[in-house]
Amino acid sequence: MQKKEKSLSERVADDIFAMITIDKRFVIGDKLPNENELSSELKISRTTLREAIRILIAHNILEIKRGKGTYIKAIHNFNENLKLEELSTTKLNARDLYEMRLIFEPQTAYYAAKRATDKELERILYYGRLEEEKILNNEDRTEVEQAFHKSIAKATHNEFMNKLMPILYKAIDKGVILSDENEHIIQDTLNDHRMIMDFLSNRDAEGAKTAMKIHILHAMRGLDIYND
């Protein structure tokens, strides 16, 4: 059965949710910008914005405080919990974590290239370039790399894939720690991310899939955890 296409208000709700969970613009307790400001930023009507906010209120992510405004109430996924928490907190070694990435992320890049909205693609490229900047400035890139890969996962429009991301973060975090002293891995990361971004920009799904696979294999070989 073909997946029903999301309405504009649902896509806007997704965008606001991404501002919270990926961009980290808001945290629990923060007030959203006023209606005029936010609708102008998102280039939508106030009616569409109100519908999107109603969706997020229904999912207990936002709440309206009468006379004060709209506030972030909680940060969680839109859909019911798939009980993956115990797996995400399990002590897994680097090889197992990277094998999970190798299984899932190339296909994630494939579907992101096909399904990403222009705004989602813009977010992916923003974080890819920001990570490059942090690498070149010898700054910690952990959160930015998470945001880059999470943006790609979100652009698949596959909610199960998004639920796997907390597990994959463990591999990303461990990879950043282990690769910080390895110039070869860092250079591979720069080159690979540029390649991934180029294919995504051109909406070349097969190219993006291959580039992501190469990226993960480069990391595994650099960390000496790849078993053919």
Q: For each of the domains in the chain, give its residue range(s) and CATH number, in order of start.
A: 8-72 (1.10.10.10), 84-223 (1.20.120.530)
100-153 pLDDT, tens digit each: 889 889 999 999 999 999 999 999 999 999 999 998 898 888 888 888 988 998
When pLDDT is cut at 50, 70 and 90, the band that residue 158 belongs to is confident
Taken in order 79, 83, 89, 90, the sign of the CA dihedral is negative
Max avg pLDDT among 29-38, 57-66, 139-148: 29-38
Entry pTM: 0.68
Predicted pLDDT of residue 155: 93
pLDDT of residue 85 exceeding 60, the answer is no
Please name which of 197, 115, 185, 204 lies closest in space to residue 155, comparing C-alpha atoms.
115
When pLDDT is cut at 50, 70 and 90, the band that residue 178 belongs to is low
pLDDT of residue 80 exceeding 50, the answer is no
pLDDT of residue 28 exceeding 60, the answer is yes
Predicted pLDDT of residue 77: 55
34: which residues sit within 8 A by CB, 6+ positions away? 69
Cα distance between residue 87 and residue 102, in whole Å: 17
Max avg pLDDT among 16-30, 65-79, 140-154, 186-200: 186-200
pLDDT of residue 2 exceeding 50, the answer is no
Predicted pLDDT of residue 177: 66
